[in-house]
Amino acid sequence: MLVNTVEMFKKAYAGKYAIGAFNVNNMELVQGIIEACIELRSPVILQASAGAIKYAGLTNIIALTKAAQEDSKKFIKGGLPIALNLDHGDSFESCKLCIDSGFTSIMIDASHYDFAKNVELTKKVVDYARRVGGKNPSKPKYISVEAELGRLAGIEDNIDVSEADSAFTDPREVSEFVKQTGVDSLAIAIGTSHGAFKFKGEPKLRYDILEQIQSLVPGFPLVLHGASSVPQKYLDIITKYGGDVSGARGVPEALLKKATSLGVSKINIDSDLRMAFTAGIREFTAQNPSNFDPRSYLKHAREYVKELVKDKILNVLGSDNKV
Ligand code: G3H
Ligand code: 13P
Ligand code: ZN
């Protein structure tokens, strides 16, 4: 059975580690991520964006996640704790559909609206989630809801949010937002951004904002989107085998570790998975030009995804041996 994120975040906050939330679009991504989590005994959130749902189909995303949880029972008693989260839900209807279909966690992203409208739409989703899943966070059918306050720069659902349109989270709004909406976790903007081209100058995060938010809502689960690091290894492989990702730059792992130590409970990673996957396919197909069996190159890509996720668990999240 899939779980919600409440228990995961409670334990993560107490243990000063973070839960990795990895974006999935196909079977190999799910398998690579879950194999890494089983091996290192790490709880995990798999998440699907609107684009992922459009690509793979809602039924497939849910079935793949449930199958992974079921398979994990061969290795871990009761199976791996896996939550399935809608990433950046952009309307009440898209959130409702995922709630009705079996997602255990929903993100409503109304961060591009003003405060009042963000509260209104977020609360509408929370109310619906409570109607379907009940109000008791310790019950398995409870559905967790994440919202966003502040606005990240970068690519979201193929829309480029310019730096001018991005905004750091205003700590003064946080308590009121949490109180008025009843959300379970909150994505904050402290300098990360979506996509693989994050910083032109020195990478910097606004820990002062994070610390202020922490002091205002101590223990409340905070989420960092746009947290890929763009590992050099995969950049080099992609470049070596004909790709062009020049200028790609992520958040250094040390900066993410510091954010975790300051109380961030969920770290979102998508771009790094794409890089690892693409590196695997480019490398395999370049080195084996006569092989045209998709299982061969997808297997190599899946291995790189697994390697990447293990690195995240050990060097960024600290979520190993928590199951
Ligand atoms: O935050 C955005 C995620 O990286 C999802 O990207 O909309 O292209 O699936 P996507
Ligand atoms: P990255 O683009 O840094 O991987 O961020 C992913 C994300 O925030 C998904 O919601
Ligand atoms: Zn995001």
> Could you report the average pLDDT of every consecutive run of 10 residues in the chain (323 residues)?
98 97 99 98 98 98 98 98 98 98 98 97 98 96 98 69 77 98 98 94 95 97 98 98 96 97 97 98 98 98 98 98 98
Give the Å distance between the CA of 20 and the centre of ligand 2: 11
Contact, 197 vs 163, CB < 8 A?
A: no
Whether residue 272 lies in the annotated active site:
no
Give the Å distance between the CA of 280 and the centre of ligand 3: 24
Q: Which two tokens stand for residue 136?
A: 């008791």
88 lines ligand 1 (CB under 6 A): yes
d(CA 174, CA 180): 10
pLDDT of residue 217: 97
Nearest to 49 by CA among 136, 143, 147, 158: 158
pLDDT of residue 209: 97
Contact, 234 vs 271, CB < 8 A?
A: no
148 lines ligand 1 (CB under 6 A): no
The structure tokens 């684009």 sit at 51
pLDDT of residue 287: 98
pLDDT of residue 153: 74
Which one of the ligands is nearest to 111 CA?
3
Total-model pTM: 0.97
Contact, 76 vs 323, CB < 8 A?
A: yes
Nearest ligand 2 atom to alpha carbon 228: 3
Nearest ligand 2 atom to alpha carbon 107: 10
Which one of the ligands is nearest to 226 CA?
2
pLDDT of residue 165: 64
d(CA 75, CA 86): 27
156 lines ligand 1 (CB under 6 A): yes
Among 94, 155, 197, 225, residue to substitute to test ligand 1 (most atoms within 8 Å of Cβ): 155
